Structure 1
Amino acid sequence: MSLRFIPPAAALAAAMAALLPVAGATQTARAADFTVRSVEVPELKGVFGEVKSRTVVPARARIGGTVRAVSVSEGDSVKEGDEIALVVDDKNALTLNAADAKIKELKSQLENARTELDRAQQLLARGVASQARLDTSKTQFDVATNQVTAAEADRAVILQRAREGAVIAPADGRVLTVPVTPGSVVLAGDEIARVASGPYYLRLSLPERHATSIREGGTVRIGERGISQDKAGTPATARPGRIVKVYPEISGGRVMADVEVDGLGTYFVNERTLVWVEIGKRAVLAVPAGAVRTAHGIDYVTLVTARGPLDVPVILGARFPGDDGERVEILTGLKDGDVIATAGR
């Protein structure tokens, strides 16, 4: 058996090449380590917010009468000027007939006055009649003309009153309530429908002890649609909203606040949804959510020690967004300064 001679330089190079993967793995593992530090996070309180419309405009009847037809129902979208109901006053038809008859009578008197005026002018031209008779005939003709004009104006008023039987939508929006049905008798000014025309917002009601913790311009987190925790999600996945108004009066031990948030257009008015409000700050130990693994119902993190990695059981708290992803609070199991391995290790 022959032995091959390997130069010392070549042997050293081979040994270094064999160690390079190990060194690279060590650097990768160190890059995946995370040092646990105490950080301040917002202390959130979950409350229910009610969806409100900035303005709710009533559509009212302009005349009294009987509701002949209703064109909308609760939940319908309407545009400003749309006819949503029709109110009919049966007396309008009778009054209109009387006005037409009056106009015919006055027009007949006007024709007689015109004939008398023409005859007086002819007689005055022949020197048979006096100027006083002509002036009298002209005055009677002017009076008859004015009476016809006044009667036609009265008829126009009756027609306008009939047209005002159409109840129109006062603004764009959604119909909230329609408290009348066809056949109902209403008076002028009665409410036919209520239209939510303003942008939607959230109305919060907080306990009095949190009155000094909220402020205008503060950020809140709004869960997904629904009042259950399963549907609403968590603060980490909630969308942001902004407090635009804090009411200065406390009523019944509650302080009211309004929150502006996008995406409420399809909600029902007075629908409730889960909202998390910041009421202070607290110091917590938090780690990346990916550093936690669960086995047999127990949560673990890998603690980096001088003797090697060590799996440590922990109890988790709330989750919240961090600078580089979701973080989870560690209630017990770690202390400030511990080094753990993230998912990359």
Structure 2
Amino acid sequence: MVEIGYGGLFMKSYLWVVLLIGLSPSLSAETVQVAPISVTEWKSVYGNVETRNRVPARARIGGTVTKLDVAEGDTVSAGARIAVIEDVKLTFQIDALDARLESLAARLATARSDLTRGEQLIERGVITNRRFEELQTAVDVLEGEISSLESERSVVEQQIKEGDVLAPGDGIVLSVPASLGSVSAPGEVIAEIGGGGTFLRLALPERHARNLSEGDRIEIEGAEGARNGTLAKVYPLIEGGRVQADVEVDGLDARFIGRRVLVRLPVGERKAILVPESTLSRNGGLDFVTVQSEDDLIRRVVVPGETLTRDGAKWREILTGLEPGDVVVTPDE
């Protein structure tokens, strides 16, 4: 090296030496050889918080809603009364049947009295056997009519009991379409009950259906932080170009059914070049990594992609600027 006083050549040579010293690998520096790594490709979608079962509580008879015992958000148990529907015509039928039963009971009492007297008369030969058989037949006919009316009355009583709308299962009341005083037809929905626990229901584009399988790990992002779930079921029916899937999540907040939650699904794998996050530096709006060549170190411009977490450490995907086999130098702490 030629020194010329304190001139420009000496200063340029000095800066070159400093640059070489700054880029020379230290004893504690680490190197990472670049190689394509399989990474999971994720797709972010929204899932809805749903109950496993949605069962409507229906009216079994037609009539007027005279009692409504639940509101949206109430918790009910199987068999609990939800509402009462009354049909005044059934009450009139009961009154009419009771009146007919009373009349038949009076006639039956008279017929039985005539039969008892006939038994005494036939023993003395006052009446014929035919007349006695007629008395016995009259009693049998009246007893048969009374039995038929009693059965008919039991049917009407059962219809009145069916005016009680019962919860089909344990769960939470999601909606109550009926209102107090409204007229309901048989089979009309009085309330909708959600039960069987809660899960996330997803609707995914059908192109991702082949990449999903039950048991896959699902990442869920919420206000309480990231958590994991399990893909419990993939439905075989595709509607509108979308396939439905259910995700089970422990401790899922079920206060609001239908709430949307951001979910990340594994939809495939791809090859990517990853380097530790610490190997990247930024200068002048560009991203650099230090690459070790045969003779020295080179700062190379790269285009980074997303950040991934592997074994608890942060890695950065490099889209362009590195090739498989390159050795990247990790700077000292």
1:81 aligns with 2:69: no
Cα separation, partners in 2 of 1:259 and 1:314, compared to 1, 3 Å = farther
Correspondent of 2:221 among 224, 228, 239: 224
In the other structure, the counterpart of 1:168 is 166
In the other structure, the counterpart of 1:280 is 268
* Mapped partners of 2:33, 2:82: distance in 1: 64
Match of 1:80, SS state, is: coil
Cα separation, partners in 2 of 1:129 and 1:42, compared to 1, 3 Å = same
Offset of residue 105 of structure 1: 0.8
Cα separation, partners in 2 of 1:332 and 1:58, compared to 1, 3 Å = closer
Offset of residue 59 of structure 1: 0.9
1:259 aligns with 2:246: yes
Which range moved further: 178-187 or 146-155?
Answer: 146-155
* Mapped partners of 2:306, 2:273: distance in 1: 11
* Mapped partners of 2:182, 2:121: distance in 1: 64
Amino acid at match of 2:233: V
Amino acid at match of 2:249: D
* Mapped partners of 1:201, 1:114: distance in 2: 69
State how many pairs are aligned: 301
1:240 aligns with 2:229: yes
Offset of residue 261 of structure 1: 1.4
In the other structure, the counterpart of 1:329 is 316
Please give the residue correspondences for 1:1-345 in structure 2 after superposition, counting only pairs within 5 Å.
Answer: 33=30, 35=32, 37-38=34-35, 39-207=37-205, 210-211=207-208, 214-217=211-214, 219-225=216-222, 231=223, 237-242=226-231, 244-245=233-234, 247=236, 249=238, 251=240, 254-263=241-250, 264=252, 266=254, 268-286=256-274, 291=278, 317-322=305-310, 324-331=311-318, 335=322, 336-340=326-330
Offset of residue 189 of structure 1: 1.2
Offset of residue 73 of structure 1: 1.3
Match of 1:224, SS state, is: strand
Cα separation, partners in 2 of 1:144 and 1:340, compared to 1, 3 Å = same
Offset of residue 149 of structure 1: 1.6
Preserved contact between residue 36 and residue 286 of structure 1 (Cα < 8 Å) = no
Offset of residue 118 of structure 1: 0.4
Preserved contact between residue 292 and residue 299 of structure 1 (Cα < 8 Å) = no
TM-score normalised to the size of structure 1?
A: 0.73
Cα separation, partners in 2 of 1:248 and 1:96, compared to 1, 3 Å = closer
Match of 1:189, SS state, is: coil
Cα separation, partners in 2 of 1:300 and 1:249, compared to 1, 3 Å = closer
* Mapped partners of 1:232, 1:314: distance in 2: 35
* Mapped partners of 2:66, 2:171: distance in 1: 23
Offset of residue 288 of structure 1: 5.7
* Mapped partners of 1:86, 1:294: distance in 2: 73
**1:94-146 CA distances to partner (integer Å, 9 max, x unpaired)?**
22222221111111011001101100000111222222121111111111112
**1:53-101 CA distances to partner (integer Å, 9 max, x unpaired)?**
4432111111111101111112222211111111011222222222221
* Mapped partners of 1:273, 1:183: distance in 2: 38
Which range moved further: 327-336 or 79-88?
Answer: 327-336
> Which structure shows the higher strand fraction?
2
Offset of residue 246 of structure 1: 5.0
Cα separation, partners in 2 of 1:60 and 1:284, compared to 1, 3 Å = same
Amino acid at match of 1:148: I
Preserved contact between residue 232 and residue 274 of structure 1 (Cα < 8 Å) = no
Preserved contact between residue 103 and residue 148 of structure 1 (Cα < 8 Å) = yes
Match of 2:71, SS state, is: coil
Preserved contact between residue 292 and residue 327 of structure 2 (Cα < 8 Å) = no
Match of 1:329, SS state, is: strand
* Mapped partners of 1:169, 1:269: distance in 2: 19
Cα separation, partners in 2 of 1:248 and 1:167, compared to 1, 3 Å = closer
Which range moved further: 72-81 or 158-167?
Answer: 72-81
Preserved contact between residue 60 and residue 167 of structure 1 (Cα < 8 Å) = yes
